Amino acid sequence: MCTIEDVTLPARLVESVSGDPPESPRRAWLAELPGLVRDLATRWRLRVGAPYQPGGSTSWVAPAERDGEHLVLKLGWRHVESWHEADGLRVWAGAGAVGLLEARVDDRTDALLIEACEPGEMLSRSLPPEQQDVVLAGLLRRLWVIPPSGHPFRPLADMCAWWTEEFKRRPAPDLDPGLVRAGIDLLCALPVSAPRQTLLCTDLHPDNVLSARREPWLAIDPKPYVGDPTYDALQHMLNFPDRLAADATGFADRMAGLLELDSRRLRLWLFARCVQESPDQRHLARVAAALAP
List residues with catalytic annotation: 203
Pairwise CA distance, residues 240 & 37, whole Å: 36
Q: Under 8 Å CB-to-CB from 39, ≥6 apart: which residues?
A: none
Pairwise CA distance, residues 17 & 26, whole Å: 7
Pairwise CA distance, residues 52 & 10, whole Å: 7
Q: What are residue 199's phi and psi, to 5 degrees?
A: -70, 135
Closest Cα partner for 277 from 187, 178, 156? 187
SS in 3 state form for 143-157?
A: HCCCCCCCCCCCEHH
Distance of CA 145 to the CA centre of its chain: 17
